[in-house]
Amino acid sequence: MPKIGMEQVRRQQLIDATIDVVADVGLRGATINLISKKAGMSSGIISHYFGGKQALIEASVRFLLSKLKLETSPESPVGRLMKIVDLNFSNLQQADSCTKTWLCFWGESMHDNSLYRLQEVNKKRLVSNLRYSFKQLMPAERAAEEAEITAALIDGFWLRCALSRYNESKFDEAKRHIKNYINAVLENYSKHE
């Protein structure tokens, strides 16, 4: 009889193994055998828990996306804006295995409809969260514009840092630039209000 709670533990082990394998060999090279071997399980367990490789890949991407959600929302709109930046540049999002997995995911999402939908959800959620906070500090039209710009800065800086082969100081510097941009926008808006 299986132990209670083991399914969730095994599912997470398979997700962690998938992220590591994708980082090593890419999405196309990540076979069920490589993933199950990395997780220390039989290859049949992937079908049992996920139904197949594609569902496991999607679950792994959803896991990474879940780490970008605001667990607890800071009281102030500025605090929320800064927390969003922090989440996108967290240690997990900087980890070599995660950066490589994200890069593979973004590239493959151009050819795979289910991964494309996940990317669209991620993009819309980021802009929506930023817009929500900016809207509390400025008119809706301006807030929407600043949300789009800030999201592009987050994605662009993260991509540049990831492609520079994991360099923690570059990620920290990028995070600082984005936060400085947000502060400058808010300061400039309050001066001209």
Convert the pLDDT of each residue in 27-84 to its tens digit.
889 999 999 999 999 988 899 999 999 899 999 988 988 887 766 666 899 999 999 9
pLDDT of residue 156: 96
pLDDT of residue 75: 80
Q: How is the chain split into domains, by residue range?
A: 6-62, 72-192
Q: Name the CATH superfamily for 72-192.
A: Tetracycline Repressor, domain 2 (1.10.357.10)
Same-fold call for 6-62 versus 72-192: no
- For 6-62, give the CATH class: mainly alpha
Does 88 score more than 90 pLDDT?
A: yes
**CA separation for the pair 99, 101 (Å, rounded):** 5
Token couple for 145: 């514009």
Residue 178: its H or E element:
helix 168-192
Token couple for 7: 């399914």
- The packing angle between helices 96-109 and 113-135, to 10°, is 110
Per-residue confidence band for 1, with pLDDT thresholds at 50, 70 and 90: very low
Model confidence, pTM: 0.82
